[in-house]
């Protein structure tokens, strides 16, 4: 669905006829009323949002991500305190923004407001006079400065944003008072944050007379303004790169912000994209299954299917539209990644994902989304997985140890040990991970316990044996396996 963009109507600059929609030049005689003080405050304001959705898991909070938390990314954030903003508009209403050196004057202290008169600007081929720019540091001026939105946990998020607005006169008589943009001082990304909420009908043109917050007025309040696609990015010299889709939308009269594709990379210089803060709120995907699993990672290690030396990790993307299955071999010797895309959600607990080679898997979540089951693999993963490590036989398969006068060569599956003296030992039913019992001869039933442990920074680098053999594997004590050490050769 194509959304209208949150852009800033210069209401006196472009006039559209109601009958055919053709563009007409601005005529100052067409609108004549008492303008009052051009430095008026905007007669709007949003109600509070007391139940703001703030992630409780710091690992999944994009506001704590190193990529968004560095105030010196690209250039120091402190530059914004010594920069004033400038705005001008082309004939089709598409904007140009830039920052220039200057000093702000204190305004309304309760709003963290700063004010500065600027030079005349232009729009639609006409001048904009009495230009006054407003800066709101770390407070969205469309909400009360004491609201939950601007204070508390969500107020901490606002600390990295500066909000800009201007007032003036179009054609020297038309009152203008418009929201401009919000700038993320850390990432230097630019966001739209205001939309018109009230209009006056003048000669076939709806002139905005009040503004509301993107957070509450767009898409039923489903997203915060910073979750929508950035409209541009600020450069170190103060110029603002505006993405073409944004200027095109402004030129065609679209207002509301968009989320074009959550699968894209984060926007940056020369490349539009998604916001780094997308999927912050619990309802961002509009899909109950996705909302339950987004940004979660489930771990699984099979101890029954002959591959306990493989740790399987299933990591969902920030919006759960994609899934990466990572296979990590014990000792980190081999890591494989398999990519999946969300195909459809069957219910709030079950969904289908498709691999890059076309096969499908069905995933079901249980235990309040702490557990994940994949039908095709018969895997059960958990986000609170307590990894027991591989079985003993998988730790030693294909390995050779040497020491105490012998060489010990383990078979491909770890279930046999060939000694350099010609004897062979066979794994019995006991395998406790770092300890197993092997039998020398099935007739005489001489059972030996073997322990494996790290040695000299080498994972599973040493094996040791029990001091004597025992009649039964169930009675062969692991506490006795400290003798005849042999170290890993290969």
- Contact criterion met (CB below 8 Å) for 381 and 314: yes
Q: Is the pLDDT of residue 20 over 50?
A: no
Q: Is the pLDDT of residue 29 over 50?
A: no
Enumerate the domain spans of the chain.
15-251, 288-382, 392-488
Tell me what pLDDT residue 282 has.
41
CA–CA distance, 105 with 108 (Å, rounded to integer): 10
For the chain, give the percent of residues with pLDDT over 90. 46
Instruction: Give the β-pairing of 447-455 and 371-374.
Output: unpaired
Which residues make beta-bridge pairs with 322? Answer: 341
Q: What is the mean pLDDT of residues 174-188?
A: 89
Q: Is the pLDDT of residue 98 over 70?
A: yes
Instruction: Give the β-pairing of 447-455 and 360-366.
Output: unpaired
Q: Is the pLDDT of residue 244 over 80?
A: yes
Q: Is 66 in a helix, a strand, or coil?
A: helix
The pTM (predicted TM-score) of the whole model is 0.54
Q: Is the pLDDT of residue 355 over 70?
A: yes
- Contact criterion met (CB below 8 Å) for 354 and 343: yes
CATH of domain 288-382: 2.40.128
Q: Is 274 in a helix, a strand, or coil?
A: strand
Cα 299 to chain center, whole Å? 20
Q: What is the mean pLDDT of residues 316-331?
A: 86
Q: Give residue-wise pLDDT tens across range 258-304.
A: 888 766 788 999 999 989 988 654 444 568 888 888 888 899 988 66
Tell me what pLDDT residue 5 has.
35
Q: Give residue-wise pLDDT tens across range 205-239.
A: 444 567 889 998 888 788 899 999 999 999 999 99
Compare 324 and 176 and report the one with higher pLDDT.
Answer: 324
Tell me what pLDDT residue 205 has.
44
Q: How confident is the model at residue 133 (pLDDT cuts 50, 70, 90)?
A: very high
For the chain, give the percent of residues with pLDDT over 70. 80
Compare 472 and 253 and report the one with higher pLDDT.
Answer: 472
Q: What is the mean pLDDT of residues 53-64?
A: 69
């Amino acid at each position: 669905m194509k959304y209208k963009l949150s852009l800033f109507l210069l209401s006196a600059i472009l006039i559209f006829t109601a009958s055919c929609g053709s563009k007409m030049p601005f005529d100052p005689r067409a609108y004549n009323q008492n303008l009052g003080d051009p430095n008026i405050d905007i007669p709007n304001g949003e109600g509070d949002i007391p139940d703001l959705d703030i992630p409780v898991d710091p690992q999944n909070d994009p506001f704590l991500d190193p990529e968004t938390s560095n105030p010196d990314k690209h250039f120091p954030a402190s530059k914004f305190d010594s920069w004033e903003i400038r705005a001008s508009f082309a004939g089709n209403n598409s904007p140009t923004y830039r920052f220039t050196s200057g000093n702000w004057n204190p305004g309304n202290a309760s709003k963290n407001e700063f004010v500065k008169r600027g030079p005349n600007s232009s729009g639609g081929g006409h001048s904009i006079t009495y230009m006054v720019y407003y800066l709101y540091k770390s407070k969205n001026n469309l909400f009360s400065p004491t609201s939950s939105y601007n204070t508390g946990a969500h107020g901490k998020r606002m600390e990295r944003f500066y909000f800009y607005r201007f007032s003036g006169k179009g054609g020297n008589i038309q009152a203008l008072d418009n929201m401009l943009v919000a700038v993320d001082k850390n990432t230097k990304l630019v966001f739209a944050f205001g939309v018109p909420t009230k209009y006056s009908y003048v000669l076939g043109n709806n002139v905005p007379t009040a503004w509301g917050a993107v957070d509450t007025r767009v898409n039923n309040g489903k997203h915060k303004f910073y979750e929508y696609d950035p409209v541009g990015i600020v450069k170190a010299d103060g110029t603002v790169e505006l993405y073409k889709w944004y200027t095109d939308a402004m030129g065609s009269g679209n207002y509301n912000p968009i989320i074009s594709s959550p699968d894209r990379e984060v926007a940056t210089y020369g490349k539009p994209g998604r916001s780094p803060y997308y999927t912050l709120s619990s309802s961002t995907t509009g899909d109950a299954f996705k909302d339950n699993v987004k940004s979660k990672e489930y771990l699984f290690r099979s101890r029954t299917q002959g591959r306990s030396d493989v740790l399987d990790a299933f990591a969902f993307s920030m919006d759960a539209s994609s899934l990466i299955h990572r296979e990590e071999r014990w000792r980190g010797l081999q890591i494989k990644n398999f990519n999946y895309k969300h195909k459809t959600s069957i219910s709030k607990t079950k969904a289908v994902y498709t691999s890059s080679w076309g096969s499908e898997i069905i995933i079901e979540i249980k235990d309040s989304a702490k557990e994940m089951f994949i039908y095709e693999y018969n895997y059960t993963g958990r986000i609170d997985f307590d990894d027991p490590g591989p079985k003993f036989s998988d730790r030693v398969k294909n390995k050779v140890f040497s020491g105490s006068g012998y060489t010990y060569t383990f078979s491909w599956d770890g279930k046999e040990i060939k000694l350099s003296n010609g004897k062979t030992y066979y794994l019995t039913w006991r395998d406790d991970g770092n300890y197993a019992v092997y039998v020398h001869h099935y007739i005489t039933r001489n059972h030996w316990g073997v322990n494996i442990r790290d040695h000299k920074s080498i994972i599973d680098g040493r094996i040791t044996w029990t001091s004597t053999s025992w009649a039964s594997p169930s009675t062969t004590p692991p506490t006795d396996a400290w003798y005849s050490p042999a170290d890993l050769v290969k």
